[in-house]
Structure 1
C-alpha cells in the first residue's frame, strides 16, 4: 500500500475541521453531532474518527484556530517600531475584529468557545491561558506608551493593559450581538476615554 503523504493527511484533517466549523457556525456546538460533521465533510465514519476521537476534540481544535488567529496580530501591534500610539494600536486591533465578525468569522466561534469553556475544564484552561497571553500583549503596549510619555509616569501598565484589552471583546460582542457600533464610532469613544482627565481616588 503506498504511503499517504503528510500533505494529504494535513489536507484531510483540514477538510474535517472546515466541515465542523461550518456545522458549528450554522447549528452551534450542542446541536451538532459527529454524524453531522461526517455528512458535511463527505467522508466515511472511519476517516473522520481517524483524526478526531470525539466532538470535544473537534471543538478544542476549532477553538485553537479561532482564538489563536489573534496571536500574531496582537504581537505585531505590540512590537511595532516605533511604538504605535494607543489609539492607532486599538484601530489595528479593531480592524482585525471587523474582518472576523461576519457570518463566517472566527469570532462567532470564539463566543461559543467561551460558553463551552464553562463546562469543559480542559477547554477552560486553554481559554484562560490564551486570554492571559493576549492581556499581556496589551500590558506591554501600555508600558511602551508610558515610556514614550503618552501615558503618565505613574500609570499602572497592568491595569491599563487589562482595560485596553477588555475593549476588544467588548467591541466584537457588540458587533455580533447588537449590530454595532461601527469602528469609527467605537474609536471615537476610546479616544475620549484616553483623553479623559484621571480622577483622584
Structure 2
C-alpha cells in the first residue's frame, strides 16, 4: 500500500477544518455535532476521527487557524506599513483585510466564539494568549522603529493599547456586517494621523 504523504494529510486536515468552521458559524461550537462535520466535509467518521479524535480538538484547530490568520494579516500590514504610514495606516490596513476575510470566512464571528470558548477551555486560552503576545510584539516593533512614546510610555504598552482596537472592531464586524463597519479603517487613519500618531 502506498504511503500517504504529509501534504495529503495536511490537505485532509485543512478540508475538515474548513467544513467544521462552516458548521460552527452556522450552529455554534456546542450545537454542532461530529455527524454535522462528517456530512459537511463529505467524509466518513473514521476519516475525521483520524485527525480529530474529539470535537474539542476540532474547536482548538479552527480557533488556532483563525488566530494565525489574524496574526498573519497584522504581520503583513506591519511589513507594508513600515514606511510613512505609522500605526494608523497599519491598523487601517489590518481592518480592511479583516473585513475582506470576514466576507469569505466569517472571521469575526469565529473570533467571538473563540473568545467565549477560551473562558472554559485552558488549551484555547493559552493559544489566545500566545497569539496576543505575538501580535503585540509585531506592533511594538513598529513603535520602536519610530520612537518610544513622547509621554514616556513603553513601546510594549503602546502596542497593547493600539492592538486593543481589534477586538472591538471584530465585535462590530460580527454584529453589523462589513457594510456596517465600512468607515472604520478611515476613522483609524484619522485618529492616528501624522499629527496625532504617537509612533510616527
Query: Gapped runs of 5+ residues in structure 2?
Result: none
C-alpha distance in 2, partners of 1:158/1:108? 28
TM-score by length of 1: 0.83
C-alpha distance in 2, partners of 1:82/1:186? 18
> Which residue does 2:173 correspond to in 1?
175
Partner secondary structure for residue 51 of structure 1: coil
Contact 2:16–2:48 under 8 Å retained in 1 = yes
Root-mean-square deviation over aligned CA pairs: 2.6
Query: Gapped runs of 5+ residues in structure 1?
Result: none
C-alpha deviation, 1:28, in angstroms? 0.7
The higher radius of gyration belongs to 1
After superposing the two structures, state which structure 1 stretch, 184-193 or 116-125, moved more.
184-193
> Which residue does 1:188 correspond to in 2?
187
Length, aligned pairs only? 195
Contact 2:77–2:93 under 8 Å retained in 1 = yes
> Which residue does 2:14 correspond to in 1?
14
> Which residue does 2:88 correspond to in 1?
87
C-alpha distance in 2, partners of 1:189/1:196? 11
CA shift in 2, pair 1:119/1:4, >3 Å: same
C-alpha distance in 2, partners of 1:72/1:83? 21
TM-score by length of 2: 0.83
Structure showing greater relative contact order (alpha-carbon pairs closer than 8 Å, 6 or more residues apart): 2
Contact 2:28–2:113 under 8 Å retained in 1 = yes
